[in-house]
Structure 1
Amino acid sequence: MPTLQAYNISYQFDKGDTLFENLSCSLTQRRVGLVGRNGVGKSLFASIISGEQMPSTGTVTPPNSYAVYRQQASELLGSELSIAQYLGVSEILAALNNIESGDCDDKWFEIVGEQWHLPALLHEQLATLGLPEDPNFLCAKLSGGQLALLQLWQLFKSDVQLLILDEPSNHLDESAKQWLINAIKHFEGTVLLISHDRALLREMTEIWELSSTGLSVYGGNYDFYAKQKQTEQLAIERQLAQLNKAQKKLVTQAQLNQEKAEQRAAQGNRLRKGGSQSKMLLDFKKGKASASNASRNKNQQARQQQLQSQTQELTEKHEQVSRQKLYIAGQQSNAKKAISVIDGVLPFGNIHPISLQVFANKKLHLKGNNGSGKSTLFKAILGEIALSQGELMVNTPLCYLDQHFGVIREELSMLANMMTLCEGMIETDARTLLAGIGFRRDAVYRLGKQLSGGEKMKLAVLVISHQVYQPFLLLDEPDNHLDLASKQLLAKALFEYRGGFILISHDLDFAKESGVNCEYQL
Structure 2
Amino acid sequence: MIIIQNATYIHPNKDILFQEINLTIADQEKIALIGNNGSGKSTLLKVIAGQLQLNNGTVSCDSIPYYIPQLLDEYKDLTIAAALGIEEKLRAFKEILLGNMTEHNLDLLNDDWSIEDRCQNALSEWKLTDISLDYKIGELSGGQKTKVFLAGITIQEPQIILMDEPSNHLDHESRELLYQFIKDCRKTLLVVSHDRTLLNLIPEIAEMTKQGIVKYGGNYEFFAEQKEQAMNALDHDVKSKEKELRKAREKEKEALERQNKLNARGKKKQEKAGIPKILMGGLKNKAEGSSGKLKTVHEEKISGIRMSLQDLRTNLPEIDQMKFGFEESSLHIGKILVEAKDVNLKINGRNLWHQNLNFKIKSGDRIALKGTNGSGKTSLINLIIGNRQPTSGEISRANFNYVYVDQDYSLIKTEMKVYDMAQSFNHSGLQEHEIKIRLNRFLFSKDTWDKSCLVLSGGERMRLLLCCLNIQSQAPDMIILDEPTNNIDIQNIQILTAAIQSYHGCLIVVSHDQYFMNEINIQETIQLG
TM superposition score normalised by structure 1: 0.86
Is residue 2:305 matched to residue 1:272? no
CA contact (8 A) 2:339 2:359 kept: yes
What SS class does the counterpart of residue 317 from structure 2 fall into? helix
Is residue 2:390 matched to residue 1:393? no
Residue equivalent to 2:455: 450
Residue equivalent to 1:338: 337
Deviation at 1:281, TM superposition (A): 10
CA contact (8 A) 2:344 2:353 kept: yes
Q: What amino acid is aligned across from residue 126 of structure 2 in structure 1?
A: L
What SS class does the counterpart of residue 215 from structure 2 fall into? strand
CA contact (8 A) 1:69 1:164 kept: yes
Q: What amino acid is aligned across from residue 44 of structure 2 in structure 1?
A: F
Worse overlay, 276-285 or 385-394: 276-285
Residue equivalent to 2:11: 13
Residue equivalent to 2:252: 254
Q: What amino acid is aligned across from residue 461 of structure 1 in structure 2?
A: L
Residues 389 and 422 of structure 1: CA distance in aligned 2, closer, same or farther (over 3 Å): farther
Q: What amino acid is aligned across from residue 131 of structure 1 in structure 2?
A: L
Task: Flag structure 1 segments of 5+ consecutive residues without an equivalent.
Answer: none
Q: 353, 356, 378: which one pairs with 2:359?
A: 356
CA contact (8 A) 1:491 1:511 kept: no
CA contact (8 A) 1:415 1:427 kept: no
Residue equivalent to 1:485: 491
Q: 474, 495, 504: which one pairs with 1:498?
A: 504
The separation in 2 between residues aligned to 1:74 and 1:424, in whole angstroms, is 42
Deviation at 1:92, TM superposition (A): 5.9
Residues 281 and 415 of structure 1: CA distance in aligned 2, closer, same or farther (over 3 Å): closer
> How many percent of aligned residue pairs carry the same amino acid?
25
The separation in 1 between residues aligned to 2:425 and 2:265, in whole angstroms, is 69
Q: 1:292-337 CA deviation, whole Å, 9 max, x = no partner?
A: 65554443333222212221121111125x5332225223643122
TM superposition score normalised by structure 2: 0.85
Q: What amino acid is aligned across from residue 320 of structure 2 in structure 1?
A: R
Deviation at 1:165, TM superposition (A): 0.6
Q: 140, 143, 162: which one pairs with 2:141?
A: 143
The separation in 1 between residues aligned to 2:69 and 2:402, in whole angstroms, is 35
Residue equivalent to 1:413: 417
The separation in 2 between residues aligned to 1:441 and 1:139, in whole angstroms, is 41
Deviation at 1:290, TM superposition (A): 6.2
Deviation at 1:397, TM superposition (A): 2.2
The separation in 2 between residues aligned to 1:450 and 1:362, in whole angstroms, is 35
CA contact (8 A) 1:96 1:112 kept: no
Residues 324 and 84 of structure 1: CA distance in aligned 2, closer, same or farther (over 3 Å): same
The separation in 1 between residues aligned to 2:261 and 2:225, in whole angstroms, is 54
Deviation at 1:167, TM superposition (A): 0.6
CA contact (8 A) 2:368 2:525 kept: yes
What SS class does the counterpart of residue 147 from structure 1 fall into? helix
The separation in 2 between residues aligned to 1:98 and 1:106, in whole angstroms, is 5
The separation in 2 between residues aligned to 1:415 and 1:297, in whole angstroms, is 44
Q: Output aligned runs, 1:27-38, within 5 Å.
A: 27-28=25-26, 30-38=29-37
Worse overlay, 415-424 or 84-93: 84-93
Residue equivalent to 1:323: 320
The separation in 2 between residues aligned to 1:221 and 1:371, in whole angstroms, is 33
Deviation at 1:194, TM superposition (A): 0.5
Q: What amino acid is aligned across from residue 151 of structure 2 in structure 1?
A: W
What SS class does the counterpart of residue 409 from structure 2 fall into? coil
Q: 1:29-74 CA deviation, whole Å, 9 max, x = no partner?
A: 7111111111121111333355543333334344432121112222
CA contact (8 A) 1:95 1:112 kept: no
What SS class does the counterpart of residue 309 from structure 1 fall into? helix
Task: Flag structure 2 segments of 5+ consecutive residues without an equivalent.
Answer: none
What SS class does the counterpart of residue 424 from structure 2 fall into? helix
The separation in 2 between residues aligned to 1:305 and 1:482, in whole angstroms, is 39
CA contact (8 A) 1:23 1:215 kept: yes
Is residue 2:403 matched to residue 1:404? no
Residue equivalent to 1:471: 477
CA contact (8 A) 2:324 2:469 kept: no
Q: 226, 229, 235: which one pairs with 1:228?
A: 226
Q: 413, 428, 439: which one pairs with 1:434?
A: 439
The separation in 1 between residues aligned to 2:226 and 2:368, in whole angstroms, is 30
The separation in 1 between residues aligned to 2:115 and 2:280, in whole angstroms, is 109
Residues 253 and 94 of structure 1: CA distance in aligned 2, closer, same or farther (over 3 Å): closer
Q: What amino acid is aligned across from residue 460 of structure 2 in structure 1?
A: E
Deviation at 1:143, TM superposition (A): 1.1
Residue equivalent to 1:130: 127
Residue equivalent to 1:74: 73
The separation in 2 between residues aligned to 1:341 and 1:134, in whole angstroms, is 36
Q: What amino acid is aligned across from residue 191 of structure 2 in structure 1?
A: L
Deviation at 1:278, TM superposition (A): 10
Residues 472 and 493 of structure 1: CA distance in aligned 2, closer, same or farther (over 3 Å): same
Deviation at 1:128, TM superposition (A): 4.4
Q: What amino acid is aligned across from residue 380 of structure 1 in structure 2?
A: L
The separation in 2 between residues aligned to 1:19 and 1:91, in whole angstroms, is 38
Deviation at 1:354, TM superposition (A): 2.3
CA RMSD of aligned residues (A): 3.5
CA contact (8 A) 1:333 1:498 kept: no
The separation in 2 between residues aligned to 1:390 and 1:125, in whole angstroms, is 42
The separation in 2 between residues aligned to 1:35 and 1:62, in whole angstroms, is 21
Residue equivalent to 1:460: 465
CA contact (8 A) 1:423 1:468 kept: no
Is residue 2:223 matched to residue 1:218? no
Q: What amino acid is aligned across from residue 32 of structure 1 in structure 2?
A: I
Q: 1:397-428 CA deviation, whole Å, 9 max, x = no partner?
A: 23210121111111123343344345454554
Q: What amino acid is aligned across from residue 392 of structure 2 in structure 1?
A: Q
Q: 1:374-413 CA deviation, whole Å, 9 max, x = no partner?
A: 1222233344444343333332323210121111111123
Deviation at 1:520, TM superposition (A): 1.8
What SS class does the counterpart of residue 326 from structure 1 fall into? coil
Residues 365 and 447 of structure 1: CA distance in aligned 2, closer, same or farther (over 3 Å): same
Is residue 2:521 matched to residue 1:515? yes
Number of equivalenced pairs: 513
